[in-house]
Structure 1
Amino acid sequence: MEFAAPLARLLLYGGATIAIGRGTLTFLDDDVGVSPPAVRGALWYAAGSLIIAPVLLLLLQQQALELTAAELPGLLRETIWGRGWLLLVIACLLTALMLPLRGTRTTSLLLLLSALGIAAAMGGLGHAAADEAWPLASRLVDAVHVAGVGAWIGGLVLMVLAGVGAGEPTSAAWRAFSRVATVMAPVVLLSGVASGWRRVGASGLTDILASDYGRLLLVKVALALVVLAMGATQRRRLSAGKAPVQRAVVWEVLIAALVLGATAWMTGMEPPGA
């Protein structure tokens, strides 16, 4: 069961990332659509993940608290975690229902709003919920971080998948997405720094290095910087009128997936000094 909680969170993060990416791409001038089979598969994966992950999280919480099935309604009604979980379930179900639909401006707006609702609800289930000094600000920063990752990395995943068996996305599509990534990359960086500072800012370097959370955080930061550098290289190519290097973009996505995995594992760890 050691891996159950990180797996549940990874399913949730992956599903939310793709959902936000899908909602973002629909508003670009040259949308990648949902017709390529690989894109449709990713959307169905995200929908399934958003249904399965909240159930797993509830069962794990029940097990951790040693509650019976009859006590679950009390958990959901009377605790901050329970109310946050209910909000998460509502947002996840709405998002899962709309993800496989072919996007119009209306449905895509609703999809994006419901996916952003997932981002907001996730702040109430992680470390931000335990931040007593700045509870609202901490949750807002985490929600902005999740939204930024979704618009950037989720969109990038779908752009890559759109080219599987269907030809590359057009240059116009890549340029439009590049404009989104250029805005969202700094948002992700700044919100990530702010969130990390709230978790470990009061700890010394020795304490950070001595904790599993701190060491994994440093690995996550290093991987995130690699993704940022790779993305910047591709944006320079697009600015010069060249197509992105497909292999490099795939590696960017794979390293970003490792960052999501590290985040899913870190959420269950105690920050140094907690």
Structure 2
Amino acid sequence: MMTKFNLKGKVAIITGSSKGIGEAIARLLAENGATVVISSRKQEACDAVAEKFKADGLSAVAIACHVGNPDDRTALVEKTIEKLGGIDILVNNAGTNPVFGPVEEATDEIFDHIMNVNVKAPWDLANKSLESMKKRGGGSIINISSVEGELPEEGLGIYSTSKAALSMLTKSQAKEWGKFGIRVNAISPGLIKTKFSAALWTNQQIMQQIESSSPLGRMGNPEEIAYIALLLSSEAGSFITGSILVADGGFLLS
């Protein structure tokens, strides 16, 4: 049964993979045989992670990409195909939330920035990867959404809106691209201990609320999201598409 998780010969792009959830996903996919493309805004950060992976006997290539930049998105896909021959797995993990406050206080610039990085970039990268996946007989696209797209928290309204849009984009892509053998799913994490979410888990009041109200009574860790990504990337998840898999310790039940 474990051979169903084998990704040998597969090429996987993981955006935002120089740290946190993205790095954890990249490492687990590489440990299961994939050649992974480490990608984030700064080349030095990508190089550092790729070298660390290689030192552990894993196959990794570093290609910097600011997903908010359309030219960078094009270059990421083109360089991956040029260096590695094609794309089998795309994990749209990079995201942003530069503000915390009421929705009416968000500026046009903030709104556009959040939507560009959290929705437009995954849409565009998937479109640019589509032809390569079709040529290779199929593929897997994984969008990292959030429980905030299901149950918005005060102060995170625009971010929540972007993640809700990403979840619907996932379902639309899955419906249209299944005929090509391409599966598209999303993972909606709850609070995960990463640098991105530090403002939340370093807040004692928020942590007390989570510990007292959610069934598991704790935050998650990046590896717990990576396990789901491995399932969705591999033959073990071959009948899963159009799904939004929630990993939140029961937060949405509270």
Could you tell me the TM-score, scaled by structure 1's length? Answer: 0.32
Could you tell me the TM-score, scaled by structure 2's length? Answer: 0.34
Q: Which structure would you say has the larger Rg?
A: 1
Higher strand content, 1 or 2? 2
Higher helix content, 1 or 2? 1
Tell which has more relative contact order, 1 or 2 (C-alpha 8 A, sep 6+): 1
